[in-house]
Amino acid sequence: MISASEFRNGITIEMNGSVCEIVEFQHVKPGKGAAFVRTKLKDIINGGVTETTFRPTEKFPQARVDRKEYQYLYADGDLFTFMDNETYDQISLGQDVIGDAMKFVRENDMVKIHSYNGVPFAVEPPMFVELEVTETEPGVKGNTATGATKPAIVETGAQVSVPLFVNIGDRIKIDTRSGEYLSRV
């Protein structure tokens, strides 16, 4: 059991039959009245975010969410197949669980699969990836004063905005959380 006064970002709790992750929290001590904890909770199964306040003495059972590394093998229609490199067990997850997580992930890359009570609910790609640019227009000389960007397609098929000096065949580093270009490799 964890009390509301012990809340920290990233902690998962069971509340009202659902499993929620604490995204933000703030301990508030008003001039009059009792202290309280204001939180933003994300339901890890359906992704909904709610704002709730608690008394610091309220207690909740802490949920155990497993995060395990898997190797991405291949996609077959709407199913994505992953393998545990320790046991060689394979699991297939549908598009509803994956979402946009696989946009920058190539075959054989490692990802983290989050599960609760043995049921996978999310896939976390690596924070940064290095991919090759397969399609982009050539930059026009003289347009660099404004820090202009152009669209580029990387080897996974995702589109990224890159600076004008990036050409086809260049390897670039991308932040998978925001989808932003970071640098040439």
pLDDT digits 0-9 by tens, 80-98: 999 998 999 999 998 877 8
CA dihedral 71, 89, 46, 39 (to 10 degrees): -70
The answer for residues whose C-beta is within 8 angstroms of residue 142's C-beta and 6 or more apart is none
Q: What is the pLDDT confidence band of residue 39, given thresholds at 50, 70 and 90?
A: very high
Residue 147 has pLDDT above 80, yes or no: no
Say what the pLDDT of residue 153 is. Answer: 93
pLDDT in tens, 120-138: 888 889 999 999 999 998 8
Say what the pLDDT of residue 148 is. Answer: 80
Say what the pLDDT of residue 82 is. Answer: 93
- Architecture label for domain 128-184: Beta Barrel (2.40)
Would the CATH topology of 2-60 be identical to that of 65-124?
no
Say what the pLDDT of residue 10 is. Answer: 80
Structure tokens at 169: 């065949």
Q: Report phi then psi at 169, rounded to 5.
A: 95, -15
Q: What is the pLDDT confidence band of residue 146, given thresholds at 50, 70 and 90?
A: low
Determine what percent of the chain is predicted with pLDDT higher than 90.
34
Collapsing DSSP to helix, strand or coil, 78 comes out as coil
Q: What is the pLDDT confidence band of residue 1, given thresholds at 50, 70 and 90?
A: confident
**CATH number of the 2-60 domain:** 2.30.30.30
Q: For 138-143, which contacts have Cβ atoms below 8 Å and span 24 or more sequence positions?
A: 138/167, 139/163, 139/164, 139/165, 139/166, 139/167, 140/164
Total-model pTM: 0.74
Residue 143 has pLDDT above 60, yes or no: no
Asked whether 26 and 37 are in contact (CB, 8 A), the reply is: yes
CA–CA distance, 89 with 132 (Å, rounded to integer): 30
The domain locations on the chain are 2-60, 65-124, 128-184
Fold adopted by 65-124: OB fold (Dihydrolipoamide Acetyltransferase, E2P) (2.40.50)
Asked whether 83 and 37 are in contact (CB, 8 A), the reply is: no
CA atoms within 13 A on the CB side of 7: 28
